[in-house]
């Protein structure tokens, strides 16, 4: 299995090379050169398999011969041993045709754990075999940072630097990043937005001197390994609901497009995923795009669902690559124009590739609170504001398509205790952290606050990266 850049000029890489590289050298994102696929008989054979068995079958199609079958199975087993539900990602029925997929039973209470616990083990295995160090740098709107830190905290060959927007994540999210002990874990609060943090990370990858100096790598969803690890729960859920002989739809709260793109990958594998519904908050660049075919930047506004307070949806480039016939040169031009002008449009022919598959709906803070209240009142389930945005979008989608005859699964991406203020505002109940995290507010915090300045942040990282110090 080889991987190519969405912008067409970076060298193709195998899986482990793509894993350690993260962002392609031409600024693009890695995707498979050829899509693997399951036939219906192969999918039916997985119908009664465990989550770990399904993960092994799916991931084997993407890692090729870079990780042995035995090692892959061991990494999967170790990754999900830390999850606090036997099913790893339990599926909860809400009514006759609506379901909720709980993705928050990992160590940091967010869906990012599903991928990053596995990614950490991949890093450990590959770096040990190659006797090298890397410096992981990531940007987070809240959950990726804590999940990455938790996954990398014990890796002896990795230094981890996480950038997050100062004052724009929940207190729980911040403390999960800033209270983890370890000399090789670094939380950086950037004076800016998540998009600023994301731009800084991309600029570091574009700075070839810095990239080589620190051995730069990524754990954001720009890393292909993140995407395929998330693809597994779409496959497992579709199988549980009758695939390949029954179609299914998913509704996903998203800002960066990575999580819902993993659903698209599952569809490429042969799963009968007929609808992918996007739930956004007031930062609705994706909803606006699917309404009019124009990707156009607007200012980021704080909301009750801060992990979706994003205007630059990095992973959309992967879908754009498919929409444009896998023409990397054309994608590079579009992304360059987007960077220069803050917008781009796609024509009817390009939109035809996704017409009917993707749908998008926005939710105001008021609608989010109402959905938390409504869900609690009808089902007894307490949901966080991001999950509420998905449930709100699902309800709007059902209203628009009353004849839809398939199960609709909304992704519950975070534990409600990560956003206690919003939940308490909605239902008057403040959700408790689980016992193993009960002392979170008492733990000592460690973080550095830095200006939104590339040179300042690069200097900070270079002075603390063991990979860089070894070369000095």
What domains does the chain contain, in order, with CATH numbers? Answer: 91-108+224-427 (3.40.50.1100), 133-220+439-472 (3.40.50.1100)
Diameter over CA atoms, the chain: 65
The Cα–Cα gap between 173 and 21 comes to 27
The per-residue pLDDT for 83 is 97
Neighbouring residues of 193: CB distance < 8 A, sequence distance ≥ 6 = 165, 168, 300, 309
End-to-end CA distance of the chain: 36
The Cα–Cα gap between 384 and 411 comes to 11
- The overall pTM is greater than 0.75: yes
Residue 53: other Cβ atoms inside 10 A: 14
The per-residue pLDDT for 312 is 87
The per-residue pLDDT for 149 is 94
The answer to whether 260 touches 278, Cβ cutoff 8 Å, is yes
The per-residue pLDDT for 307 is 87
- Phi then psi dihedrals of residue 411, to 5 deg: -85, 120
Q: What are the CA-CA distances from residue 347 to residues 120, 320, 324, 352, 355 (Å)?
A: 40, 12, 10, 9, 12
The per-residue pLDDT for 24 is 94
One DSSP character per residue, 124-167 reads HHHHHHHT--EEEEEE-SSHHHHHHHHHHTT-TTEEEEEEEETT
Q: Where are the alpha helices (DSSP H) in 342-364?
A: 348-351
Q: Is the dihedral of CA 280, 360, 31, 51 positive or negative?
A: positive
**Cα angle at 468 between 463 and 472, to 5 degrees?**
90
From 40, 112, 275, 471, the catalytic residue: 112
Low-confidence ranges of the chain (pLDDT < 50): none
Residue 86: other Cβ atoms inside 10 A: 10
H or E segment to which residue 19 belongs: helix 15-21
For the question of residue 418 being annotated catalytic, the response is no
The Cα–Cα gap between 385 and 293 comes to 27
The per-residue pLDDT for 333 is 96
The per-residue pLDDT for 341 is 94
Neighbouring residues of 176: CB distance < 8 A, sequence distance ≥ 6 = 108, 145, 146, 149, 150, 440
């Amino acid at each position: 299995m080889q991987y190519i850049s969405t912008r067409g000029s970076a060298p193709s890489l195998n899986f482990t090379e793509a894993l350690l590289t993260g962002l392609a050298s031409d600024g693009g994102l890695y995707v498979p050169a050829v899509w693997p696929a399951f036939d219906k008989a192969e999918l039916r054979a997985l119908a009664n398999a465990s989550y770990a068995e399904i993960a092994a079958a799916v991931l084997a199609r993407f890692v090729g011969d870079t990780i042995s079958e035995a090692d892959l199975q061991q990494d999967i087993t170790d990754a999900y041993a830390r999850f606090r539900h036997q099913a790893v990602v339990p599926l909860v029925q809400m009514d006759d045709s609506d379901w909720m997929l709980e993705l928050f039973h990992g160590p940091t209470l967010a869906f990012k754990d599903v991928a990053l616990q596995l990614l950490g083990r991949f890093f450990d295995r590959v770096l040990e075999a190659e006797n090298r160090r890397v410096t992981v740098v990531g940007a987070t709107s809240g959950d990726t940072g804590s999940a990455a830190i938790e996954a990398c905290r014990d890796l002896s060959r990795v230094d981890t630097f996480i950038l997050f927007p100062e004052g724009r994540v929940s207190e729980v999210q911040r403390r999960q990043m800033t209270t983890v002990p370890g000399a090789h874990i670094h939380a950086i609060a950037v004076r800016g937005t998540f998009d600023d943090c994301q731009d800084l990370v991309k600029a570091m990858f574009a700075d070839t001197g810095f990239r080589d100096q620190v051995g730069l790598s990524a754990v954001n969803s720009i890393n292909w390994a993140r995407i395929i690890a998330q693809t597994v729960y779409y496959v497992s859920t579709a199988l549980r609901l009758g695939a390949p002989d029954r179609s299914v739809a998913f509704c996903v709260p998203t800002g960066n497009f990575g999580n819902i793109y993993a659903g698209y990958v599952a569809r490429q594998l042969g799963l009968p995923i007929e609808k992918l519904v996007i739930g956004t908050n007031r930062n609705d660049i994706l909803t606006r795009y699917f309404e009019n075919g124009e990707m156009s930047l607007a200012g980021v506004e704080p909301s009750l669902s801060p992990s979706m307070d994003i205007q630059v949806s990095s992973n959309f480039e992967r879908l754009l690559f498919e929409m444009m016939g896998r023409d990397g040169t054309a994608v590079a031009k579009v992304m360059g124009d987007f960077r220069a002008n803050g917008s781009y449009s796609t024509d009817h022919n390009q939109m035809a590739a996704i017409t009917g598959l993707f749908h998008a709906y926005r939710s105001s803070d008021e609608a989010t609170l109402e959905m938390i209240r409504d869900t609690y009142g009808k089902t007894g389930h307490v949901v966080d504001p991001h999950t509420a945005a998905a449930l709100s979008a699902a309800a709007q989608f059902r209203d628009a398509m009353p004849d839809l005859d398939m199960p609709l699964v909304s992704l519950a991406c975070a534990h409600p205790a990560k956003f206690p203020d919003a939940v308490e505002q909605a239902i008057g109940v403040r959700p408790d952290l689980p016992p193993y995290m009960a002392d979170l507010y008492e733990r000592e915090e460690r973080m550095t606050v830095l200006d939104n300045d590339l040179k300042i942040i690069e200097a900070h990282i270079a002075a603390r990266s063991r990979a860089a110090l070894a070369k000095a």
